[in-house]
Structure 1
């Protein structure tokens, strides 16, 4: 069963230190491209989190976003920015020199000024298992989402494969009629010229024309490619690239069919085939 490359998963976990919220999104991509947006304290386990993603997903652009909301009774660690404090005091002293009988500089006032105290988020190691659990849960949601979308793509591709076979069969059934029409048109042209022509030579020319316009090989290859698409859809491994290659092969046969067409109905069938194959190709671009 095929999987889509588009999906979303979200998990929230409450821990003794606060709430973890993790979101993972995926869109189509040629390869597996994983991007993380993590609080600085979780960078130590980024490689472990990356391995969790790579175990479940094989292709797509994956964006993982993790946020941590600390409980109110869990204060942040902080330290004094000495350089910023020195600058503020110097500015206060400059102002004080311009004022008569200035009040002394109050340290309590200085410490409340922006930039004096820098708060630092300390992530305890005890949150790491929760982060792994949150990611595993979100990835499972995303994988289920991708699988459901893959089922829809599978059904659409099966439907289009049936349409390709129907068109190929109709063209194949009309081949004798097309060749008969070519013979009749050629005979009418010869009759209009009012000349005698050797029947053996006529048959030879008709055979050459029939050989040039023969599309039976293209139709056989179309059916073979469609069967390969159907076989590929039933495999468990990621098959997006293989399906993309098969779409190219189907399109090549449709182009050849159109170039060899000897009547309007065959030309229209070739156009319809190309439309169907393009619809399939657009869906295949989103297959893992």
Structure 2
């Protein structure tokens, strides 16, 4: 059921691991990620994979959009193929040199082959491997398969975490909508109270100084105040931002709908879009608070700002 609610959400923090065995050996891939504005890949591989870092990077890109992802990958060749390689040319050179030295000294001795193996350059740390194009292609496919398997597990974990965050964000949206609705009901009373206070002050002034005041002047002053404190447009825009946020969060916004193949979301960087919408929500909330000039409305504004800040912290952890 959670997949239906938030099919495209992923947290930027998570981990995944895969281990596969085959003719190429045993490949272990571990992924861990933390927050980052873009995508940053940190590869840590053993010597057997140094030549295949491009294969690993290619398998990751397109499956991960944002975050600092650390990749630990090791490839252990099959038993018998992980032995050091003997450099026969180096052995021959050492043997000829030693033979010439023995002949020059007129000493009857035999060359110790085991001793030759300890000399520099005789044994190579590289494992024996087939360097044909076909062998390299098999190895590339094997490595890509292991990386994709790790990414799939990695993304499942990140999606599970994101679903929990999505539910909290939905709750915060409802809180903001409820507070905005209460502000909407309070707004007309602000102008009415201002008019009542203004009349009270004018009547008091008239009683003290017997000064005439035209009703039209009172109406004009009340109208000016009403124009300055009108928050209807800001409330409308805030409601629009809330609706947009919800549609992007739930994957129902047209820009975030599935592609023709139905297998991928068109815009995966949901977190960046939600963060931008939150900025707009905060801007409208600030304007409402500064224009309303009412203690009760100010109380609701504080609660809305707190909810927005909680949402911002969560959104910054979404891919």
TM-score range, shorter chain: 0.7 to 0.9
Greater shift, 244-253 or 27-36, is seen at 27-36
Maintained 8 Å contact 1:41/1:123: no
Q: Does 1:76 align with 2:84?
A: yes
> Could you tell me how far apart the structure 2 residues matched to 1:78 and 1:144 are?
45
Corresponding residue number in structure 2 for 1:22: 29
Q: Distance in 1 between matches of 2:168 and 2:159?
A: 14
CA contact (8 A) 1:78 1:120 kept: no
Q: For 1:198 and 1:216, how far apart are their aligned partners in 2?
A: 29
Aligned-partner Cα distance in 2 for 1:76–1:216: 78
**Mapped contact 1:212–1:260 kept (Cα < 8 A):** yes
CA distance in 1, matches of 2:162, 2:232: 33
**Equivalent residue for 1:266?**
297
How many Å apart are 1:127 and its aligned residue?
Answer: 4.2
Matches within 5 A, 1:86-165: 119-121=125-127, 125=136, 127-165=139-177
CA distance in 2, matches of 1:115, 1:43: 21
Shift of 1:60: 2.1
SS in 2 for 1:35: strand
Conserved? CA contact 2:55–2:143, under 8 Å: no
Which sections of structure 1, spanning at least 5 residues, go unmatched? 83-105
Deviation at 1:287, TM superposition (A): 1.8
Judge conservation of contact 1:38–1:66 (CA < 8 Å) in 2.
Answer: yes
**Secondary structure of the corresponding residue to residue 21 of structure 2:** strand
Match of 1:257 in 2: 288
Give the equivalent residue in structure 1 for 2:62: 55
- Deviations for 1:237-272, whole angstroms, at most 9, x for unmatched residues? 222222111111000011111111322111111111
Which moves more between the two structures, 108-117 or 264-273?
108-117
Is the counterpart of residue 5 in structure 1 residue 12 in structure 2? yes
Is 2:271 aligned against 1:240? yes
Partner Cα distance (1:123, 1:253) in 2: 64
> How much has 1:49 moved relative to structure 2?
2.1
1:277 equivalent among 308, 311, 315: 308
- More displaced stretch, 198-207 vs 180-189: 180-189
| Higher RCO, 1 vs 2 (CA within 8 Å, ≥6 residues apart) | 1
* TM-score, structure 2 as length reference: 0.74
Matched with 1:178 is 190
User: Normalising by structure 1, what TM-score?
Assistant: 0.81
Q: What runs of 5+ residues in structure 2 fail to find an aligned partner?
A: 1-5, 91-111, 131-135, 257-264
SS in structure 2 of the partner of residue 55 of structure 1: coil
